[in-house]
Amino acid sequence: MPLGAYIAVSAALFAIGIVTIITRRNVLYILMGTEMILNAANINFVAFNRFGSNGLDGRMFAIFTIILAAAEAAVALAIVLNFYYLFNSVKPSEADLLRE
């Protein structure tokens, strides 16, 4: 399989993640969207490692990112929990305190 196919999948995943973040009416989906974006990046790391260099750099980065995503998910869920406590809702459109 050529590199372009990997990149296409990655781009599609990235696009889906973005659209999910922008359009979804639930904070949890936004978290999922972030995960998709991170994974799109992971695909790129792995793909470029496969076709580009001889070392294990790309794969190492991908693993690193997965660990990071796990940590991020934990933090993000905590944020979501607080979000829910604060607004009594999980809709991101309810949170417009940034305007103040």
Q: Which listed residue (6, 9, 73, 92) binds other proteins by CB under 8 A?
A: 92
* Calpha distance 54→52 (Å, rounded): 7
Q: Is 1 in the site for other proteins (CB under 8 A)?
A: no
Q: Is 32 in the site for other proteins (CB under 8 A)?
A: no
CB of 80 to other proteins, least distance (A): 13
Largest CA distance in the chain: 52
Q: Is 72 in the site for other proteins (CB under 8 A)?
A: no
* Calpha distance 86→90 (Å, rounded): 10
- The token duo for 15 is 């696009």
Q: Is 75 in the site for other proteins (CB under 8 A)?
A: no
Q: State which amino acid sits at residue 41.
A: A
How many residues of this chain bind other proteins (CB under 8 A)? 13
